[in-house]
Amino acid sequence: MSKTVDQILRGADDSVTLINQINSGDFSYFMEGYTQAVVNRRVQENVDYLEIVLTMSPMDDSDSTPDVEGSSVDKSSYTAAIATGKTYISNNS
């Protein structure tokens, strides 16, 4: 069974939350002793994931991939998290 746009975006909410928590100084996701490089890598992985999610669309009429890219659903929290993550990495590299 294929997922809907809303289901895909709900799954991406975890990435938004993680990026925003790290940006606000909450590192509770990480075990003690993680380096800044590890934190940056995790932020980058989540930024990359969000960028992929936002470009999801069916390749043709037989493709059941949800059309996230063409959807009118508000995606501002995802684009904001991408920008926040990129700024965080830039500021902490």
Torsions phi, psi of 13, nearest 5?
-60, -30
Q: In the chain, which residue ranges form alpha helices assigned H by DSSP? A: 5-23, 36-54, 76-91
Q: What pLDDT, on a 0 to 100 scale, did the predictor assign at position 93?
A: 92
**Chain length of the chain:** 93
Closest CA to 93 of 44, 51, 55: 44
DSSP state of 83: H
Q: What pLDDT, on a 0 to 100 scale, did the predictor assign at position 1?
A: 55
Whole-angstrom distance, CA of residue 92 vs CA of residue 3: 36
The pLDDT profile of the chain, 93 residues, written as one tens digit per residue, is 578 999 999 999 999 999 999 999 998 888 888 899 999 999 999 999 999 999 999 999 898 999 999 999 999 999 999 999 999 999 999
